């Protein structure tokens, strides 16, 4: 997978930069995970939350395309808007005839307004969803709880070959809520 060197900002493959020699596998995986969550919760689920309003309809979204995760990583790394736009125009041209690219990715790469929305939503995710209303935040938070809770339950099932006990479920829920607060630092949570 290609990503950005966090030392010299070259586009590289792997965890070692051939230009400057910087190696940081742990940082790269943390940044990737953060960018993945920014796309999933900061962009995709946010769009659904805005569309559905106060509805109780919830969706389970598939994983975001690597291109969007890479783009979110660039945004979260502080790459300037003009560089993002230039990069996206090149990406858009390179994927024009590919059938493996999903509609959401195509829309972000081909529509300037959608790209601007993507950029703003990713930046807002980084700021703790500072520009969304409480209902939208609650919707996204519920999705985060469901995803993280499922991860923990799956971990218990895979390791212990059983379902979690009630006590474990309570502990999972507590740990999930703490995890969300460490990821999303809302102003009014302080």
Average pLDDT, the chain: 86
- 72 has a pLDDT exceeding 90: yes
Handedness of CA 6, 32, 66, 89 (dihedral sign): negative
pLDDT for 83 beyond 80: yes
Mean pLDDT for the stretch of residues 156-162: 95
Residue 190 has pLDDT above 50, yes or no: no
Question: Does residue 7 carry a pLDDT above 60?
Answer: yes
Q: Is 65 exposed, middle or buried (0-12, 13-18, 19+ CB in 10 A)?
A: buried
Closest CA to 117 of 60, 53, 51: 51
- Strand ranges, E, within the chain: 2-4, 11-13
Identify whether the C-beta of residue 107 lies closer than 8 Å to the C-beta of residue 57: no
**Cα dist from 166 to 10, 169, 172, whole Å:** 49, 5, 10
Q: pLDDT band at 21, cuts 50/70/90? A: confident
Stretch 42-63: mean pLDDT: 86
Handedness of CA 20, 26, 29, 34 (dihedral sign): negative
Across 128-147, average pLDDT: 91
Three-state SS for 86? helix
DSSP secondary structure code for residue 179 in this structure: H
Query: Phi/psi at 18 (nearest 5 deg)?
Result: -70, -20
Contact 95, 67 (CB under 8 A): yes
Range in 37-41, 55-59, 179-183 the model is least confident about: 55-59
Structure tokens at 152: 């923990």
* Token pair of 30 as six digits: 């943390």
Tell me the pLDDT band of 47, cut-offs 50, 70 and 90. very high
**186, 129 contact by CB (below 8 A):** yes
Question: In this predicted model, what pLDDT tens digit does every residue of 86-120 receive, in sequence order?
Answer: 989 888 888 877 777 888 999 999 999 999 999 99
Map out the domains of the chain as residue ranges. Answer: 34-126, 132-190
Check pLDDT > 60 for residue 126: yes
The pLDDT assigned to 25 comes to 66
Query: Which pLDDT score, from 0 to 100, does residue 75 have?
Result: 93
């Amino acid at each position: 997978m290609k990503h950005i060197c966090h030392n010299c900002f070259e586009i590289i493959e792997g965890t070692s930069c051939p230009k400057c020699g910087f190696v940081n596998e742990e940082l790269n995986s943390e940044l990737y995970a953060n960018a993945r969550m920014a796309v999933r919760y900061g962009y995709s689920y946010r769009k659904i939350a805005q569309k559905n309003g106060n509805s109780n309809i919830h969706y389970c979204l598939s994983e975001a395309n690597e291109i969007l995760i890479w783009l979110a990583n660039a945004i979260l790394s502080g790459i300037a808007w003009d560089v993002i736009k230039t990069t996206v125009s090149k990406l858009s041209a390179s994927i024009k005839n590919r059938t493996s690219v999903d509609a959401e990715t195509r829309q972000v790469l081909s529509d300037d307004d959608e790209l601007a929305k993507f950029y703003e939503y990713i930046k807002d995710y980084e700021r703790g969803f500072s520009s969304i209303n409480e209902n939208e935040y609650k919707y996204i938070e519920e999705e985060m709880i469901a995803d993280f809770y499922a991860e923990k339950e799956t971990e218990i099932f895979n390791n212990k070959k059983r379902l979690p006990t009630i006590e474990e479920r309570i502990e999972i829920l507590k740990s999930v809520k703490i995890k969300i607060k460490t990821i999303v630092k809302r102003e009014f949570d302080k």
